[in-house]
Amino acid sequence: MYKVLIVEDDPMVAMINEQYIKRNKNFTLVGKCGDGMSALSFLEKNDIDLIILDVYMPKMNGFETLREIRNRQITVDVIMVTAANDIDSLEEALHLGVVDYLVKPFTFDRFQMALEKYIAKINALKDIEKLNQSNIDSIIVNSRKNTQDLLPKGIQEKTMQCIMDYLRGNSGVWFTGDQIAGEIGLTGVTVRRYMNYLSESGRVIGEMNYETGGRPCMLYKVE
């Protein structure tokens, strides 16, 4: 599992980010810091794979913190979270090598896409003993992939969004895959493929129902 540090001075935003991370099985939260100074101290004592880094914080803002991380040559990736949507801020974030740049308020789905972008980057670097132009080009292309490109084979963004819209419209209600399929006009096989992906990535909650009187079946919902 990838170890994550949240650096955010707003306790409510930090709590939301924490819940988003905990719903993805590939990541584990190992710490939260309220400002850049405490984050740097934490990084000196702990190995972290990924930081969810806010921009506007007391003592040391996100850009100052990230510059200091780079100056100290601390090996860690960063997803920048900010209310700033100006070009200068984006350019500086890209110059400092962020994995992604999320503008508040962002959705759970967009947050998960940022995490998947990080995983795509890590996977692109795996099993490469010696770089050549071909795999360098592949790594750069992977880092620039859009949302659809990051999805597994057989998963389409529009279909996934249709399923999510239906579940959000019935928030808190449990459904079988066949029930969802019947409501939105897809086959049961197709919906089960999407539900497996959505539950594994934390977008929906999946639970096995053993009280069917017959074969157990999976139930799904969003909260």
Where in the chain are the domains?
2-123, 157-221
CATH domain 157-221 topology: Arc Repressor Mutant, subunit A (1.10.10)
**Eight-state DSSP code of residue 187:** -
Task: Give helix then strand counts, H and E, for the chain.
Answer: 10, 8
Do domains 2-123 and 157-221 share one topology? The answer is no
Residue-level pLDDT at 29: 97
CA dihedral sign of residues 20, 13, 121, 38? negative
Strands (E), the chain: 2-7, 27-33, 50-54, 77-82, 100-103, 175-176, 205-209, 217-221
Residue-level pLDDT at 129: 60
Whole-angstrom distance, CA of residue 170 vs CA of residue 173: 6
Residue-level pLDDT at 142: 56
- Alpha-carbon dihedral of residues 220, 157, 118, 98, nearest 10 degrees? -130
Q: State both tokens at 25.
A: 């099985």
Whole-angstrom distance, CA of residue 101 vs CA of residue 103: 7
Residue 213 backbone class (left: φ over 0; alpha: ψ -120 to 50; beta: rest) = left
Q: pLDDT in tens for each of the 223 residues of the chain?
A: 999 999 999 999 999 999 999 989 899 999 999 999 999 999 999 999 999 999 989 889 899 999 999 999 999 999 999 887 677 877 888 888 898 988 888 888 889 889 988 888 787 666 556 666 665 665 555 555 555 555 667 788 889 889 988 998 998 999 999 999 999 999 988 998 888 888 877 778 888 887 766 778 889 998 7
- Its pTM stands at 0.64
Of the candidates 115, 139, 140, the residue with the CA atom closest to the CA atom of residue 127: 139
- At position 68, the amino acid (one-letter code) is E
Whole-angstrom distance, CA of residue 5 vs CA of residue 8: 10
Of the candidates 116, 125, 123, the residue with the CA atom closest to the CA atom of residue 155: 116
CATH number of 2-123: 3.40.50.2300
